[in-house]
Structure 1
Amino acid sequence: MSFQWLKNYMPRGIYARAALILLLPVVVVQLVVSVVFVQDHFEDVTRQMTTTTAREVHLVLLRVDQAQTIADIADLTADIAGPLNISIKPAPKAAIDELDRRLWYDFSGSIVISSMHEQVARVAVVDLLARRMVRLIVTTHLGPVEIIFDRRRVSAAAPHQLLVNMVFFSVLTTIIAIIYMRNQLRPIKRLANAAEAFGRGNTIAYSPSGATEVRAAGTAFVDMRNRIERQIETRTLMLSGVSHDLRTPLTRMRLALSMIEDEDRIPLERDVDDMQGMIDAFLSFAKGEAEGEPSVIDPIAFVQEIVTDAQRGGQPVTLVVAEGEGTVTLRAAAMRRALDNLIGNAVRYGTRAEVSVRLSDKSLRFRIEDEGPGIPSDRHAEARRPFTRLDRSRNQNKGSGVGLGLAIATDIARAHGGVLRLGQSDTLGGLRADIVIAR
């Protein structure tokens, strides 16, 4: 039997789930104890006490049957009713027509009423409205009489005390357990915050703490973070060093070519420009996600500025959709580099590009679409890898490149806690690139 449907009703947070694990057994125990208590105490004990009292009422009525007049009832029942603490007196004839009565929350009262009618057939009315006494209207050969006795004779005094104590101490122990649980879950939340921040490109102070298992997980995270940071630093230093060292010979080649007046100089200068573009791409990839500090920006104005700069540079770019209001926290320089790369790819492999931005309560989406050949869906993952050139799907003769444009955009999107999604444009038919960032 599958219980997958239960996941839709389970809380998402670790605090809520831990509270559920803690409270569910307490509630179940309370329900079970309450049912057993009501069954054994409210019913069985009350029925036994009512049966005993009904027998005493029956003995009193035997004496009443011996009376010749109403006035004789008090004398004949004095020796029995007195020790039993039962009061008996004549009742108005209209009392026979009254109905059984009890307070709405008097659960044991229904047992008293039913048991009294079962044990004493001549009981016409059982009145339990008075909290501390029971009033019976009984038919006799002399007319109706009223019998009054203490309520504690038929039911336990303060029967709700067990339930009150049970609820009180359950709440008390639950509060203590929640306080202890918060202390135990705090290290887990700190670890989650540190991992989330690192996934967004930030490094916050974190030291393992808590239970042994949590401490082990925290230590493993710190080791993993250190290894990743070393790898990123090594990659950055390597690419920056290689790119920087190549600039000097390229500069000398450019100066030497400027002195050549032969017609072969133009294609050679184009090759040098291509190599310069490759070096710039390496440097951009080396900078990657760490470029710039997070700042609060208006994404609509941010994209409008990028599109305006692209149009000023002669690129056929249009801002078609700009929806939403508000601000977000982004690394503006890094995100601008990612969008510039996507726009550059779009206008390089297509005749024009369309840009849109949509800001909602849950996410921010940048979209760039082109009219180019696009990328097959089965090669989207390959296209996002560094140094990948998809010769079959993208015309490489239209521009130089080393296959880092989508890789840079992927890294920057991931550093912002988002993702780069590739697909086919519904309007232009070419590639659709979305950077989606959760808010």
Structure 2
Amino acid sequence: MLFEWLKKYMPRGIYGRGALILLVPVVVIQIVVIVAFSQRYFADITRQLSRGVVAEISLYVVSADTLPMAQVPLALQELDERLGFASTFGAEAPVADQRRWYDYSSRVIEQELRSAIDGVEGMDVASDTQRVRVSIMTEAGRLTLDVPRRRASAANPHQLVVWTAFTGLVMTLIAFIFLRNQLRPIRQLARAAESFGRGESRPYRPAGAIEVRSAGAAFLNMRSRIERQIEQRTLMLSGVSHDLRTPLTRIRLGLSMLDVPEADAEEVTAMQADLDEMERLIEAFLDFARSDATEDPEAVDLVAFVEAAKERAERAGGVVELGDMPDQEVVLKLRPVALARALDNLMSNARRYGTTARIGLALFERAVVISVEDDGPGIALEGRERALQPFVRLDESRNQNRGSGVGLGLAIAHDVARRHGGTLRLGESAGLGGLKADLVLAR
């Protein structure tokens, strides 16, 4: 439970965690050293010095109690000259207790004075930090003494704290510089991996420690293999689709030139419809191949981009509403052709399975979400994950007789979202009651 509670307050960045690992031991060691040293060294030295001062103050008390009143001032003056104290006899008001909260050695002085000398009324170590002022009620009257502070306690005990803190700060800064140099290659690797997740091939050169260099080299090899696989996949699908179009064109041309009896015309028409279906399949395959193709990112205003997608859907004959939109411009570096294809697929699905569609844009701290909703039958919860896979048709939840889809629309949109560092989420529309597709794009 304690570790779970601490996780909420721990830094999440590598710099924050590295600084925490660096600072916690330094601070703890400094505190332990200061406390232990002050207790064992300063307290012991102060106690020894205070006992000497107690013995010297006892001479004043004995002189005031035993000598005749006429000889007391001369005796006190002689003691002041020999001991370096400043005494006053017969003061009207006692000394009030004054002590700064951080002056821990003054507590030791007060304890020694009050435990060894009877009649101590008060001690002031705050009015003048260089002297200890104490008042004692003797049998002959009130005795006030000013004792040099260096005679009663260790000199400048705060210097240990100051020098320890200063040295710890300097060493922490030096260690942080080295830590930053060690963490910089890790951050560069993270930025390169994050950019590649959005489809950008960012320049990266392995640097840093051996382990970081090894991870960087593995990342470069992985990126090269993925890029080669994407290129080979694109070329293969494009080549297959192109090669299929040539015989389809010849068949279509041959069917159009056939002179058949009227009884066989229906069969020819059906064959032409099959050819149209095959061409639509080929176009879908090409779209799916182009979703992974390399396209340079551009700065795009998503507000205008979403409004343009709405206009295209309306020109295609659908009823499209504009949902919630941000007031300001939302400019991101995106692949406009691929993103337009993904939105068109989502809008086409919404028009195919419903009568009304709605598109909106929501802005968050680390992502933007383009939502496409419809009033159709939606997709059941258990089928939403399968719906994102290529060539999957969910006849139970989406009536395929309403259109000629091949099961690639959501897969293409999902691939485009992943190429932009996001994802495609399927849910239920609260306003229209049908499917809600959230196209999440990283900022």
Q: Deviations over 1:96-142 (max 9, x none)?
A: 3x412334543322332232122111333323222222233233344
Q: Please give the alpha-carbon distance, in whole angstroms, between the structure 2 residues aligned to 1:148 and 1:430.
A: 90
Shift of 1:14: 0.5
- Which is further off, 256-265 or 403-412? 256-265
The question of whether the paired residues in 2 share the 8 Å contact of 1:380 and 1:422 is answered with yes
User: Alignment partner of 1:20: what SS?
Assistant: helix
Give the partner amino acid of 2:380: P
Is 1:258–2:256 an aligned residue pair? yes
Q: Please, which of 283, 287, 295 is the counterpart of residue 286 of structure 2?
A: 283
Runs of 4 or more consecutive aligned structure 1 residues displaced over 6 Å after TM superposition: none
Q: Deviations over 1:391-425 (max 9, x none)?
A: 33333333323321111101100111111011223
The equivalent of 1:203 in structure 2 is 201
Call closer, same or farther: CA 1:102–1:371 in 2, change over 3 Å: closer
User: Alignment partner of 2:289: what SS?
Assistant: helix
Matched ranges for 1:196-235 at <5 A: 196-235=194-233
Shift of 1:79: 6.3
Call closer, same or farther: CA 1:280–1:291 in 2, change over 3 Å: farther
- Which is further off, 312-321 or 10-19? 312-321
Q: Please give the alpha-carbon distance, in whole angstroms, between the structure 1 residues aligned to 2:411 and 2:227.
A: 18
Is 1:107–2:104 an aligned residue pair? yes
The equivalent of 2:378 in structure 1 is 374
Matched ranges for 1:14-413 at <5 A: 14-70=14-70, 72-76=71-75, 82-92=81-91, 94-96=92-94, 98-103=95-100, 105-128=102-125, 129-260=127-258, 262-290=265-293, 292-329=295-332, 330-413=334-417
The equivalent of 2:435 in structure 1 is 431
User: Alignment partner of 2:166: what SS?
Assistant: helix
User: Alignment partner of 2:324: what SS?
Assistant: strand
Q: Please give the alpha-carbon distance, in whole angstroms, between the structure 1 residues aligned to 2:156 and 2:350.
A: 81
Q: Please give the alpha-carbon distance, in whole angstroms, between the structure 1 residues aligned to 2:37 and 2:157.
A: 10
The question of whether the paired residues in 1 share the 8 Å contact of 2:234 and 2:293 is answered with no
Shift of 1:188: 0.4
The equivalent of 2:262 in structure 1 is none
- Which is further off, 279-288 or 176-185? 279-288
Gaps of 5+ in 2: 260-264
Call closer, same or farther: CA 1:361–1:203 in 2, change over 3 Å: same
Q: Deviations over 1:282-326 (max 9, x none)?
A: 111111144643222222221111111221122333334334422
Q: Deviations over 1:164-211 (max 9, x none)?
A: 110000001000000000000001001100100000001111122211
Call closer, same or farther: CA 1:46–1:298 in 2, change over 3 Å: same
Structure 2 length as normaliser, TM-score?
0.91
Q: Please give the alpha-carbon distance, in whole angstroms, between the structure 1 residues aligned to 2:114 and 2:382.
A: 83
The question of whether the paired residues in 1 share the 8 Å contact of 2:428 and 2:434 is answered with yes
Q: Please give the alpha-carbon distance, in whole angstroms, between the structure 1 residues aligned to 2:396 and 2:76.
A: 114
Q: Deviations over 1:353-395 (max 9, x none)?
A: 2222223444311122223333222122222112222333333
- Which is further off, 415-424 or 36-45? 36-45
Give the partner amino acid of 2:16: A
Structure 1 length as normaliser, TM-score?
0.92
The question of whether the paired residues in 2 share the 8 Å contact of 1:367 and 1:432 is answered with yes
How many residues in Structure 1 have an aligned counterpart in Structure 2?
A: 436
Q: Please give the alpha-carbon distance, in whole angstroms, between the structure 1 residues aligned to 2:330 and 2:77.
A: 90
Call closer, same or farther: CA 1:428–1:266 in 2, change over 3 Å: farther
Give the partner amino acid of 1:101: Q
The question of whether the paired residues in 1 share the 8 Å contact of 2:87 and 2:144 is answered with yes
Q: Please give the alpha-carbon distance, in whole angstroms, between the structure 2 residues aligned to 1:77 and 1:396.
A: 114
The question of whether the paired residues in 2 share the 8 Å contact of 1:291 and 1:333 is answered with no
Call closer, same or farther: CA 1:143–1:394 in 2, change over 3 Å: closer
- Which is further off, 350-359 or 200-209? 350-359
User: Alignment partner of 2:114: what SS?
Assistant: helix
Shift of 1:6: 1.5
The equivalent of 1:8 in structure 2 is 8
CA RMSD in angstroms comes to: 2.2
Shift of 1:58: 0.8
Shift of 1:82: 4.0
Q: Please give the alpha-carbon distance, in whole angstroms, between the structure 2 residues aligned to 1:282 and 1:306.
A: 22
Give the partner amino acid of 2:286: L
Call closer, same or farther: CA 1:374–1:130 in 2, change over 3 Å: closer
Give the partner amino acid of 1:301: A
Q: Please give the alpha-carbon distance, in whole angstroms, between the structure 1 residues aligned to 2:147 and 2:430.
A: 87
Q: Please give the alpha-carbon distance, in whole angstroms, between the structure 2 residues aligned to 1:139 and 1:349.
A: 102
User: Alignment partner of 1:69: what SS?
Assistant: coil
The question of whether the paired residues in 2 share the 8 Å contact of 1:291 and 1:334 is answered with no
- Which is further off, 149-158 or 127-136? 127-136
Gaps of 5+ in 1: none
User: Alignment partner of 2:83: what SS?
Assistant: coil
Percent of paired sites with the same residue: 49
Give the partner amino acid of 2:257: M
The question of whether the paired residues in 1 share the 8 Å contact of 2:73 and 2:89 is answered with no
Q: Please give the alpha-carbon distance, in whole angstroms, between the structure 2 residues aligned to 1:165 and 1:109.
A: 21
The question of whether the paired residues in 2 share the 8 Å contact of 1:291 and 1:331 is answered with no
Q: Please give the alpha-carbon distance, in whole angstroms, between the structure 2 residues aligned to 1:78 and 1:374.
A: 104
Shift of 1:327: 1.8
Q: Please give the alpha-carbon distance, in whole angstroms, between the structure 1 residues aligned to 2:309 and 2:124.
A: 86
